[in-house]
């Protein structure tokens, strides 16, 4: 039956798998894009930042909705809550850097590291197939790339900022694929 693209329940697993990867990559890709938009608007201090920040704070809904069919509403809400916290921390980080508030900046970095640990642990709790250290590595790399974008934007190093965004985007798509891989292994291919 595996060759036919269906599982024992008659579902079209090839289509479901394709949809899963596309949806995860789209949601996480939007998160990377809107993180950059938020950074540009907050660090540059230009008009429109309030609207961009409000849009950015809604992106965790898109990420979480990709999990609903596989893990249920309760787990989906847990993921949304943790990503919403991360979005708020990213906004705080950009503001702290912009206003040169080292205490707030350092504290926010520590809270982002805690959020990464919480997200990685949550994924592992949801499904032990997730490697907690690997998941945390993806998340920490994303924060590092975001910090690099902030530094470079603030200093006017726009080529470097774009390179940092490219790295963040590639990393976040890697995380999306890693998550989708594990959902396929445990939820679709059964």
- Give the tens place of pLDDT for each residue, 58-76: 999 999 998 888 888 999 9
DSSP per-residue letters across the chain: -GGGTB-TT--BHHHHHHHHHHHHHHHHHHHHHHHHHHHHHHHHT-TTHHHHHHHHTTHHHHHHHTTHHHHHHHHHHHHHHHHHHHHHHHHHHHHHHHTT-HHHHHHHHHHHHHHHHHHHHHHHHH-TTS-HHHHHHHHHHHHHHHHHHHHHHHHT-HHHHHHHHHHHHHHHHHHHHHHHHHHIIIII--
Which of 73, 115, 72, 71 shows the shortest CA–CA distance to 92? 115
Q: What confidence tier does 11 reach under pLDDT thresholds 50, 70, 90?
A: low
Task: Write the pLDDT tens digit of every residue in 167-183.
Answer: 999 999 999 999 999 99
* The pLDDT value given to residue 5: 54
Q: Burial of 111 by CB count in 10 Å (0-12 exposed, 13-18 middle, 19+ buried)?
A: middle
Pairs from 65-68 (Cβ < 8 Å, separation ≥ 24):
65/27, 66/20, 66/23, 66/24, 66/27, 67/183
pLDDT over 80 (residue 1): no
pLDDT over 60 (residue 41): yes
Task: Write the pLDDT tens digit of every residue in 119-155.
Answer: 999 999 988 889 999 999 999 999 999 999 988 988 8
CA–CA gap between residue 88 and residue 147 (Å, rounded):
14
Q: What confidence tier does 3 reach under pLDDT thresholds 50, 70, 90?
A: very low
Neighbours of 140 (CB within 10 A): 16
Q: What confidence tier does 117 reach under pLDDT thresholds 50, 70, 90?
A: very high
pLDDT over 80 (residue 81): yes
User: Structure pTM?
Assistant: 0.87
């Amino acid at each position: 039956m595996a060759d036919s693209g269906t599982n024992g329940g008659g579902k079209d697993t090839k289509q479901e798998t394709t949809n899963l990867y596309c949806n995860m990559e789209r949601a996480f890709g939007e998160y990377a894009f809107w993180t950059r938009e938020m950074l540009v608007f907050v660090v540059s201090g230009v008009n429109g930042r309030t609207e961009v920040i409000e849009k950015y704070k809604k992106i965790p809904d898109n990420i979480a909705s990709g999990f609903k069919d596989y893990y249920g509403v309760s787990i989906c809400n847990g993921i949304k809550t943790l990503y919403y916290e991360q979005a708020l921390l990213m906004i705080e980080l950009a503001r702290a850097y912009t206003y040169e508030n080292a205490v707030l900046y350092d504290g926010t970095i520590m809270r982002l590291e805690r959020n990464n640990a919480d997200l990685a642990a949550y994924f592992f709790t949801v499904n032990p197939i997730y490697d907690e250290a690997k998941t945390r590595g993806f998340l920490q790399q994303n924060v590092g790339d975001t910090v690099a974008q902030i530094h470079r934007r603030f200093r006017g190093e726009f080529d470097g900022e774009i390179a940092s965004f490219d790295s963040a985007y590639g990393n976040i798509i890697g995380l999306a694929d890693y998550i989708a891989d594990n959902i396929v292994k445990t939820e679709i291919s059964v």
